[in-house]
Every structure is written in structure tokens, then in C-alpha cells.
Amino acid sequence: MSPAETMAARQMTLPGWTPENQERLGKSRVFLAGIGGVGGIVAQYLAMAGVGELTLVHEGVLEMPDLNRQTLMELSGLGKSRVGQASERLARQAPACRITAIDARVSGWMEPLVASADLLVDARTNFEERFLLGRLARRAGKPLVFAAMNGMEGMVVPLGPGSGPCLECLFPEGDPSWDPLGFPVLGAVSGAVGAMASVLAIRILSGYGGVPLSRMTVFEGMDLSTRSFRIRKNGRCAACREGAVPEAADHEKPWRR
Ligand SMILES: [Zn+2]
């Protein structure tokens, strides 16, 4: 057994989890936008679960108010690049995971990186980057796990690579209340949402159980409840009208390499 498989020994005893599930994780490449309160948790759980490769994309340096939620960061890193710190921390925590760290906003030039990933995770806080990533995902035919939180509420949505609803169907105009400098954050809520997104990502990548796509799950931190509902395509969605999504991409696991 490799060190990564030994690390994963406890999850490999899950009922129905096969060596192939673990092998798929090891061969997986994930493009993760955002390594803050939500995305940092996703990075940690994916790396620890045995995901082979992570591309981390997040612009900016660590500031003191980030430290109520960004679990990959340390006080000694104030003023330094967050993706840089994240990649150093993950290298110590799960050395088998290959990390590429990009200190930048999600941008069009990242299209080849999106195209070479098996799954995208969107844990950014602004809709410019979210929408661009959503469109890159559709163009490349890749599944995307959307994760977001605000205050005591969080949500996750696994979106398929096919002709189903997209992020812009769901939030046609973004959400002005998500001012990245302003919305309230309880770190534990972002952690809960990051963990939920990680469960979805690990299941999609490993093929462990079927993940129902196009379902939004909302977590309410005040009463610890969740509710899930199916999301539908918006006939007036500009991103869907842009097309470029092959109809045939809806069959089982079309994103596997
Ligand atoms: Zn759409």
C-alpha cells in the first residue's frame, strides 16, 4: 500500500467503497477556485482523501480578519499570499497530493487548466469569477460543485456538465448582498459548507454512489437543518443560450478521463 492509501485506510472500509473508488481519487485532478473559509476546507479534505492533484486559484494576501475561518492560514502568514501558504500547508498535511498554486482571479487564460480537470469547485465570493468559472466549466464539459455561504446560511449545488441548469440559471443577476468585503461570516458555518461540498466532490470523483446533480442543498446554521430541492433551467438564461454544451454529455460520468 502506498502512503496515500494507508492514509485513506479508514475511508476504504466504508460499505461499498472499492479499491477502484480510491484509485479514481488518486488519478483525479480538481480545479478549486477559492481557498478561504469554504474552499480551504475543501482543499484539505480532498487532499487528505487522496485526490491526486489540486489546482488552487485565489488572489490576495492574508489579512487578520481572514483568520476566523481560513483554516489553512497561520498568523505568521499575515501579508503573504494565501495560495502560497495553502500549498505549503497541504504539502505537509498530504504530501502525495500535487498542488499548483495560482495567486490570481479566475481568468479566461485558465481555460486549459479547467479543461484538464475532472471536477471544478467554486468557492469564490464574487459572481464575476463564479460566472466565468461556470461558463468555462460548461464549455469544457466538466462538472462543477458550487459552494457558498453568507452569515448563518450556506448552500451547495452539484452542477452537471450536460444540458441541465447552470449557475446563471440559478442566479441570473448574481447576488448584491454578497459584497465580498461586507457579508457576515461565522467560520464554523463556512466549514460546514466546505465539508458538504467535499462530500459531493469526493463522491463525484471516486464514483462512490450516485450524486444527484442539479440539486441545491441549503444549510441553516440557526437550527442545523438542511433542505434540498431540484433546480431547473431558466429559459432566459444568457449563459445557456451561449450554447457549446453537447447534448450527449448527460450520460453517466462523462467527465472521466
Ligand atoms: Zn443557464
Alpha carbon of 242 to ligand 1 centroid (Å): 9
Name 256's Cβ contacts closer than 8 Å, sequence gap at least 6: 24, 118
Lookup: cell for 232: 431547473
Task: Kindly indicate the confidence band of residue 250, based on its pLDDT and cuts at 50, 70 and 90.
Answer: very low
Cα 20 to ligand 1 centroid, rounded to whole Å? 34
What's the 141 CA to ligand 1 centre distance in angstroms? 14
How many angstroms is it from 163 CA to the middle of ligand 1? 9
Q: How far apart are CA 107 and CA 158, in angstroms?
A: 22
Ligand 1 center to 237 CA (angstroms): 5
What pLDDT was estimated at residue 174?
A: 75
pLDDT of residue 255: 30
Q: How high is the pLDDT of residue 69? A: 96
CA distances from 188 to 78, 136, 145, 202 (A): 21, 30, 20, 21
Q: For residue 72, how far is its CA from the centre of ligand 1 (angstroms)?
A: 33
Q: Ligand 1 centre from 79 Cα, in Å?
A: 38
Mean pLDDT of 172-198: 85
* pLDDT over 50 at 93, yes or no: yes
Mean pLDDT of the chain: 90
Query: What is the rounded end-to-end Cα distance, in angstroms, of the chain?
Result: 24
CA of 247 to the centre of ligand 1 (A): 14
Ligand 1 centre distance from Cα of residue 25 (Å): 29
The three three-digit cell numbers of residue 221, written as one number? 446554521
- Sheet arrangement for strand 144-150: 98-102, 53-57, 29-33, 119-122, 144-150, 153-159, 215-220, 225-230
Closest CA to 122 of 159, 164, 86, 67: 159
pLDDT, one tens digit per residue, over 135-148 is: 999 999 999 999 99
CA 221–ligand 1 middle distance (angstroms)? 29
Cα angle vertex 4, ends 2, 200, to 5°?
140
| Lookup: cell for 166 | 447552470
pLDDT tier, 112 (very low <50, low <70, confident <90, very high otherwise)? very high
189: CA distance to ligand 1 center in Å?
Answer: 28
Q: What is the pLDDT of residue 243?
A: 59
pLDDT at 1: 76
Choose between 115 and 239: higher pLDDT. 115
Who wins on pLDDT, 257 or 191? Answer: 191
Distance (Å, whole) CA 161 – CA 114: 12
- The dihedral sign for the CA sequence 161, 56, 205, 14: negative
**Cβ-count burial of 119 within 10 angstroms (0-12 exposed, 13-18 middle, 19+ buried)?**
buried
- pLDDT over 70 for what percent of the chain? 91
User: Per the CATH hierarchy, to which homologous superfamily does domain 3-242 belong?
Assistant: NAD(P)-binding Rossmann-like Domain (3.40.50.720)
Residue 164 CA to ligand 1 center (angstroms) comes to: 8
Lowest mean pLDDT among 57-61, 80-84, 142-146, 247-251: 247-251
pLDDT tens by residue, 189-247 = 999 999 999 999 999 999 999 888 999 999 999 999 999 999 999 999 988 887 544 33
